[in-house]
Amino acid sequence: MTGDKGTAFVLPRGATGFSSPEDGPLPQTDRRAFRTALYAAARAARGRVGEVEEQTYPLTFHTASVVHGAAQSTVLCHAHHPWIAFARERRTWYTDRFLTPPAWAHPFAVAGFAVLTGEQLATPLCEVDTSVLSRAEWRQVRCYGITTLGGVLFNAWD
């Protein structure tokens, strides 16, 4: 889909984690800013930061947890764009089951991250501006049966 007025989200270069050598390196999310916001969010939750796992190939995201009371929340941070999402459990890739951001997520927004909602991440790809995606990226989308924005952003395609 191209940039129609009704599109809910515009995918920039690097959203899928794929790149071509001739295009140069993908942008990188500021990991230090993510960690700083993560610790501020844990304080806001009256909890603590649990395990933090930096992105490694083929993942497109960093993963962390915030432990608050008897609960634990999984925080996802896109490796190439400042996007934050929340999930029930730690996995190697996500297509659905994203959560509504908790009340304590505001430190991420203050730090310049876009905190994505479960509803946004469930947006069908037909409602997303995907005009920047290459043929190789579309092959991966089709191969893995990805149909939502969240599946494109938080993946581990090889």
Residue 3 has a pLDDT of 41
Half-sphere exposure of 8 (CA within 13 A, CB side): 15
Residue 25 has a pLDDT of 87
| Residue 111 reports pLDDT greater than 50 | yes
Look up residue 16 and give its DSSP letter.
Answer: T
pLDDT band at 148 (very low <50, low <70, confident <90, very high): very high
Q: Mean pLDDT, the chain, as a whole number? A: 89
One DSSP character per residue, 38-83 reads HHHHHHHTTSEEEEEE---TT-SEEEEEEEETTEEEEEEEESSS-E
Show the tokens assigned to 71.
């609960």
- The residues near 143 (Cβ < 8 Å, ≥ 6 apart) are 157
DSSP state of 13: T
User: CA–CA separation, 17 vs 153, rounded Å?
Assistant: 8
CA distance 116 to 147: 17
